[in-house]
Amino acid sequence: MLAFLYQRIRNNILLFVMLLCGAILASAIVSCIPMYSNAIFQRLLIKDLEQMQKDTTKYPGTYSVEMIGKSREEYQKVDKIMYSKYASQISLPIKDKTAVIITDPFNIEEERKTKTWRKSVISSIAAFKNIEEHITLLHGRLPENNSQNDVYEVIVSQNAAKNLDLILNNTHILTKTVSYSETKTIAKVKVVGIFTYKDKADAFWDEDNYRNLDDRIVMLESDVERITENRELLKIYSMKWMYFYDYYELKSENIKKIISTIYEQRLTARVNLNLLGVVEEYLSRQKDLSITLWILTLPFIVIICFFTLMISGLIVKNDENEISVLKSRGAGTFQIFFLYIIQSLIMAGIAFIIGPILGKSICRIMGASNGFMELVSRKSLPIRITAEIYQFSLLAAAIFVVFVLIPAFRACRTSIVQYKRKKNTENKQAIWEKFFLDIVVLLISVYGLYKFSDRQNVLQKTGASGQELQIDPILYMISTLFVIGIGLLFLRLYPYLINCIYQLGKNRWNSVLYYSLINTRRIESNARFIMLFIILSISFGVLSSNQARTINQNLEDKIRYETGADIVLYPYSRVVLDSPMSPAKSFIPPPDPVALRNYKPEVLEYDEVPYREYQNLDGIEGITRVFEEEKSIVKGNSVDLEEVKVLGIVPHEFAKLAWFRNDLLPFHINKYMNVMTQSPNAALLSKDMQEKFDLGDSISIQWGKNKENTLLCRVHGFINYFPTYNPYPDNNVTFASEELNGVKWKTKSLVVVNFSTLQSKLPGIRYNIWIEKKPGVTDGTINDQL
């Protein structure tokens, strides 16, 4: 049997290798997607957690289990199983741990009243395991365990000393109010040390712990046990075990497990993990990204499926005779099919193992290339092959097996006699042809396209922008469907088309043409498959490269839009900002445009180089002055707007050199510029101000501390877009899925006024210089002259 199989494979080695390649590629691509998204998410995850630590001062890796109001024995019991039953379930390395015991509150009084009046202070005892490693003693020493002594030694934090009014080396009495008139003494304590936190950034000083010590006295754990022996007087209020995990080791694939563990543990105890919230929100984002990536990969998968079907079809066709030989010798359908199963399992097995490894390389290339993926990550990604990846690989292999076996199954079922008959009656209709799947797919995609343009209009109206991936997955999917539909439809019509040509000149064709026409009229189903495959791969190739170009173009446009011109100079400090992108070069990793824009020189020293000298620079096509102020106040009759961006421009110069796509505004930008030129007091307002101001309204614009910086203007028009103007400056939306649906971003308003008007009113006004280079001139040449 194996020898037979070996001979079979050897005989068909070329097709077999091709099929194997298809299998490996399928597995590679399929496993590549989760690998890639995991890598991106790994990075984002850590960043998010770092951000969380910064924002909340809570250490994200803090895990705590709290018990309240239980007996001491119970605490001890839980303490024993804490690590094995709770902490060790979270699959993260433990950096540090502690356990905090807190007692019920009591009053603290001085033993010998030094002051005539002293406010009654309520506090409680806290015992921290390992606290000594995380504090610095300012005064005194650490408490010592001398159980004979009935004065307990305690230390307090600097804050607590202040809050509780405790003095070093003083002895205090802890009392409990039993009734209105009666208080009982619990114990005596002596403050032997005052400490401060060694390193507040230390995970140990999680916000809660740190707060805990602001109004508590710290005792040794053994002392706490001793002092709470008499439950009547003082009880343990709560015990909290804390583990500080190294969250940098958090792997995105473990998140689900961790979340479910926490929820499981919550059934039996008060368990908390600080990073839980972040991480939960995270999963949904991960899903979104994965979906996007899957959709982007859809064409590849479709092509690979077709490829597999095609090659498998060829192999089976090659084998048809052999199948009939075996059949005529009485081999059962399954017996023959079994050969194919084994054969495909061998291939799938190889693909299953090799696929992810190849996928890893693909991911590397994707991550390192300057394509659109660059946006998401610039450093090399933490790409890892995990068990989950092998699940995907397995899935791909399984699908591959199915696709290989479809033609094999069909062939195995036909008997030898049917086979002979089939040879006579060629050209049966394929399934898709019978059920008009091509038409169905086409209709779906056309409908989708229609819906999509609807949605696009809505998006346009809401003015979505931001750092999106700029691929709409739905559009991509629709396009893919459309391509498949058209491909199939073409195949359906192809014979008629040929027939038509044939009929047209039946009597005119020469014999060669005649013969080939007749031949092509009846194409075999396998040949049709190859045609379909070619149609699909070419169209997907075109589609993808188009997509890449669009993404690139959009990025480029965006950077240009945000920068405004080839070169923007800030002459007052002589900081030269080179344009981030030379036009016409594609796929140069774009520097972060926002960062560029926001770069403001520290010293706003006006460098008195006359504007004329800039005008005399070599290699410039156009030059203009632009006044830019991000934070001004616009006042109308009844409304004030703050943080409005003001652009002062010289319209006729500006129009010539500013980068601007003309399809962004209802009229050509020159029309707006003409209006500005004609009326020096004209102002163009961003669309969002339309609700507040009318055309013809007078507005005053004010900026800086100096009240003199005021300009009166008249509203002459509203604009959605303008060079450098981004209504959503503060959100860095990373993924398309995070569209602005439902989220209200704070928008920024814009006012465009005449620079000359500004300057005549305020002669010493600062301005930037926008320069357009002559074609072929590099940024360097201009830089050198400066």
**Contact positions vs another protein (CB under 8 A):** 1, 3-4, 7-8, 10-11, 321-322, 324-326, 328-332, 335, 415-417, 424-425
Nearest approach, Cβ of residue 417 and ligand ADP (Å): 7
Tokens 């129009």 belong to 655
Q: Which is nearer to another protein, 8 or 360 (CB)?
A: 8
Q: Per CB under 6 A, which of residues 691..750 are in contact with ligand ADP?
A: none
Q: Per CB under 6 A, which of residues 412..431 are in contact with ligand ADP?
A: 420-421
Please answer whether residues 152 and 227 qualify as being in contact, where contact means their C-beta atoms are separated by less than 8 angstroms: yes
* Residues β-bridged to residue 140: 193
Nearest approach, Cβ of residue 331 and another protein (Å): 4
Q: Which is nearer to ligand ADP, 158 or 415 (CB)?
A: 415
Nearest approach, Cβ of residue 424 and ligand ADP (Å): 7
Q: Which is nearer to ligand ADP, 418 or 519 (CB)?
A: 418
Q: Report the C-alpha gap between 62 and 49 in whole angstroms.
A: 12
Please answer whether residues 262 and 100 qualify as being in contact, where contact means their C-beta atoms are separated by less than 8 angstroms: no
Q: What is 349-381 written as a DSSP string?
A: HHHHHHHHHHHHHHHHHHHHSSSGGGGT--SPP
Query: Which listed option, ligand ADP, another protein, none, makes contact with residue 284 (CB within 5 to 8 Å by class)?
Result: none
Q: Which is nearer to another protein, 424 or 662 (CB)?
A: 424
Q: Which is nearer to ligand ADP, 112 or 423 (CB)?
A: 423
Q: Which is nearer to another protein, 149 or 328 (CB)?
A: 328
Nearest approach, Cβ of residue 494 and another protein (Å): 23
The answer to whether 455 contacts ligand ADP (rule: CB under 6 A) is no
Q: Which is nearer to ligand ADP, 421 or 549 (CB)?
A: 421
Query: Which listed option, another protein, ligand ADP, none, makes contact with residue 328 (CB within 5 to 8 Å by class)?
Result: another protein
Q: Which is nearer to another protein, 419 or 494 (CB)?
A: 419
The DSSP call for residue 747 is P
Q: Which is nearer to ligand ADP, 422 or 600 (CB)?
A: 422
Please answer whether residues 555 and 372 qualify as being in contact, where contact means their C-beta atoms are separated by less than 8 angstroms: yes
Query: Which listed option, another protein, ligand ADP, none, makes contact with residue 558 (CB within 5 to 8 Å by class)?
Result: none
Nearest approach, Cβ of residue 341 and another protein (Å): 16
Residues 242-281: x where in contact with ligand ADP by CB under 6 A, - otherwise, as a string: ----------------------------------------
Distance of CA 732 to the CA centre of its chain: 10
Return all residues near 503 (Cβ < 8 A) that are at least 6 apart: none
Nearest approach, Cβ of residue 1 and ligand ADP (Å): 32
Q: Report the C-alpha gap between 771 and 607 in whole angstroms.
A: 18
Structure tokens given for 267: 């059934």
Nearest to 244 by CA among 199, 286, 190, 296: 199
Torsion angles phi and psi, residue 277, rounded to 5: -60, -50
Q: Which is nearer to ligand ADP, 419 or 718 (CB)?
A: 419
Structure tokens given for 747: 């928008």
Query: Which listed option, ligand ADP, another protein, none, makes contact with residue 576 (CB within 5 to 8 Å by class)?
Result: none
Query: Which listed option, ligand ADP, another protein, none, makes contact with residue 325 (CB within 5 to 8 Å by class)?
Result: another protein
Q: Which is nearer to another protein, 96 or 319 (CB)?
A: 319
Distance of CA 294 to the CA centre of its chain: 15
Nearest approach, Cβ of residue 404 and ligand ADP (Å): 30
Query: Which listed option, ligand ADP, another protein, none, makes contact with residue 3 (CB within 5 to 8 Å by class)?
Result: another protein
Q: Report the C-alpha gap between 752 and 673 in whole angstroms.
A: 10
Site size for ligand ADP, by CB under 6 A? 2
Q: Report the C-alpha gap between 218 and 128 in whole angstroms.
A: 7
Q: Report the C-alpha gap between 148 and 546 in whole angstroms.
A: 84
Nearest approach, Cβ of residue 419 and ligand ADP (Å): 10
Q: Which is nearer to another protein, 5 or 543 (CB)?
A: 5
Please answer whether residues 193 and 140 qualify as being in contact, where contact means their C-beta atoms are separated by less than 8 angstroms: yes
The DSSP call for residue 100 is E
Query: Which listed option, ligand ADP, another protein, none, makes contact with residue 330 (CB within 5 to 8 Å by class)?
Result: another protein
Nearest approach, Cβ of residue 325 and another protein (Å): 6
Nearest to 544 by CA among 293, 369, 297: 297
Produce one character per residue of 96-114: b if its CB has 16 or more CB atoms within 10 Å, e if not. Answer: bbbbbbbbbbbbbebeeee
Structure tokens given for 31: 């496993």
* Distances, alpha carbon 779 to alpha carbons 563, 571, 582, 658, 776, in Å: 14, 16, 8, 16, 10
3-state DSSP assignment of residue 110: strand
Tokens 């616009």 belong to 634
Query: Which listed option, another protein, ligand ADP, none, makes contact with residue 10 (CB within 5 to 8 Å by class)?
Result: another protein
Nearest approach, Cβ of residue 311 and ligand ADP (Å): 30
Nearest approach, Cβ of residue 420 and ligand ADP (Å): 6
Structure tokens given for 463: 């003015």
Please answer whether residues 516 and 522 qualify as being in contact, where contact means their C-beta atoms are separated by less than 8 angstroms: no
Nearest approach, Cβ of residue 430 and another protein (Å): 20
* Distances, alpha carbon 83 to alpha carbons 79, 214, 289, 753, in Å: 8, 28, 36, 68
Please answer whether residues 19 and 311 qualify as being in contact, where contact means their C-beta atoms are separated by less than 8 angstroms: yes
Please answer whether residues 31 and 383 qualify as being in contact, where contact means their C-beta atoms are separated by less than 8 angstroms: no
Query: Which listed option, another protein, ligand ADP, none, makes contact with residue 324 (CB within 5 to 8 Å by class)?
Result: another protein
Q: Which is nearer to another protein, 413 or 600 (CB)?
A: 413
Q: Report the C-alpha gap between 122 and 385 in whole angstroms.
A: 56
Q: Which is nearer to another protein, 117 or 334 (CB)?
A: 334
Q: Which is nearer to another protein, 180 or 334 (CB)?
A: 334
Nearest approach, Cβ of residue 397 and another protein (Å): 27
Nearest approach, Cβ of residue 338 and ligand ADP (Å): 28
Tokens 């039996």 belong to 268
Nearest to 531 by CA among 478, 497, 566, 492: 492
Nearest approach, Cβ of residue 342 and ligand ADP (Å): 32
Nearest approach, Cβ of residue 428 and ligand ADP (Å): 15
Tokens 């008959």 belong to 421
Please answer whether residues 203 and 62 qualify as being in contact, where contact means their C-beta atoms are separated by less than 8 angstroms: yes
Return all residues near 94 (Cβ < 8 A) that are at least 6 apart: 87, 243, 244, 245, 246
Q: Report the C-alpha gap between 49 and 47 in whole angstroms.
A: 5
Nearest approach, Cβ of residue 15 and another protein (Å): 13
Please answer whether residues 304 and 397 qualify as being in contact, where contact means their C-beta atoms are separated by less than 8 angstroms: no
Q: Which is nearer to another protein, 147 or 321 (CB)?
A: 321
Query: Which listed option, another protein, ligand ADP, none, makes contact with residue 696 (CB within 5 to 8 Å by class)?
Result: none
Nearest residue relative to ligand ADP (C-beta): 421
Torsion angles phi and psi, residue 170, rounded to 5: -80, 150
Q: Which is nearer to ligand ADP, 419 or 533 (CB)?
A: 419
The site for ligand ADP (CB under 6 A) is made up of 420-421
